[in-house]
Amino acid sequence: MDTNQIEYIPEQAQSKRKRSGFLRIVVDIFETLVLSVVLFVGVNIISARIRVDGDSMVPTLISGEYVVVNRLSYRLGNPHRGDIIVFHFPRNPAEEYIKRIIGLPGDVIEVMDGSVYINGQPLDERYLDVKVNYTGKWEVPQGQLFVLGDNRNNSSDSHDWGTVPMDYVVGKAVMVYWPPLEWGLIDHVKLANAAR
């Protein structure tokens, strides 16, 4: 056997290999792009991302933080008092606000003596830094939510402009993802002592 013998590959076969290699790269790139688009659309269907703008949710959320919002939370379940939600501002639906749910449909909300009462029961709101310095009484209509910012005295919320229609709710705020030092799940305090 001659070890110096070189196997000859016809040019046509070499050309087919080059084409099939190039075609495989094009197919791989196309598959990657399609998968990326499907994942992007899927993630945007089930979640949203918003930037906290302003101090109305201090101390829970700080201006400049970025938050992930679960869009499916109220399609698959019901809102609860204490949930922090993102919604379209009723006076200008192009704007999105983030606040805490205080009242559900049928609830009577009263603010007096620096505290919030739901259906005559005072809320235990240890997450607040200050006492409320305004008063008022509101009844939450069917299909609506009563929301307040955690920075009660410096928040544009339901005590100013009324309730939020349920179909304006984008979803439930789930976690802070930016800045990295603030990364973590958002605390949704259960305000259970307000049951009727």
Show Cβ contacts of residue 168 under 8 Å, excluding neighbours closer than 6 positions: 87, 88, 90, 93
The single residue listed with the structure tokens 């809320």 is: 123
The single residue listed with the structure tokens 């939370």 is: 73
In single-letter form, the type of residue at position 45 comes to I
How is residue 192 written in tokens?
Answer: 């259970």
Long-range Cβ contact pairs of 128-132 (< 8 A, separation 24 or more): 128/59, 128/152, 129/58, 129/59
Distance, first Cα to last Cα, the chain: 97
Q: CA dist 170 to 17, 72, 85, 100, Å?
A: 52, 9, 7, 13
* Burial tier of 119 (Cβ tally within 10 Å: 0-12, 13-18, 19+): middle
Single out the catalytic residue among 56, 73, 155, 158: 56
Q: Could you give the CA distance from residue 185 to residue 105 in angstroms, rounded to a whole number?
A: 27
Single out the catalytic residue among 99, 155, 158, 172: 99
Contact 57, 159 (CB under 8 A): no
The question of whether 56 is a catalytic residue gets the answer yes
Instruction: Point out the residues that are catalytic.
Output: 56, 99
